[in-house]
Amino acid sequence: MERLHSSPLHANISTALDKHLESIRVVQARRKDEIVHASSRQRHGPPRCQDERVVLALAAALRALCLATRKVRTVLWCAFQMT
């Protein structure tokens, strides 16, 4: 879009994109943690407290991803309108 506009876009656009990418990486990490804990739970029995913490961390990461996705969609729409 910067090439089409012939000038750099607003700094909030790149910031929103960076936050969205970071949110994706956090969700991926939380999902990996959930998989690891689920596989270890099958071997050692059910420690419910830690399992709930892992799931709640994943839920919080998904909520943050949802908010970041909404923001980045709006920012990209605005950038598209400016070009």
**pLDDT digit string, tens, across residues 10-50:** 888 889 999 999 999 999 999 999 888 887 766 555 555 66
Mean pLDDT computed over every residue of the chain: 85
- 3-state secondary structure at position 21: helix
Alpha carbon 76 to its chain's center: 17
The Cα 30–Cα 59 span in angstroms is 9
Backbone angles phi, psi at 61, to 5 degrees: -65, -40
The pLDDT, as a whole number, for residue 48 is: 58
Q: Report yes or no on whether pTM surpasses 0.85.
A: no
The pLDDT, as a whole number, for residue 37 is: 84
Q: Where are the domains of the chain?
A: 9-82
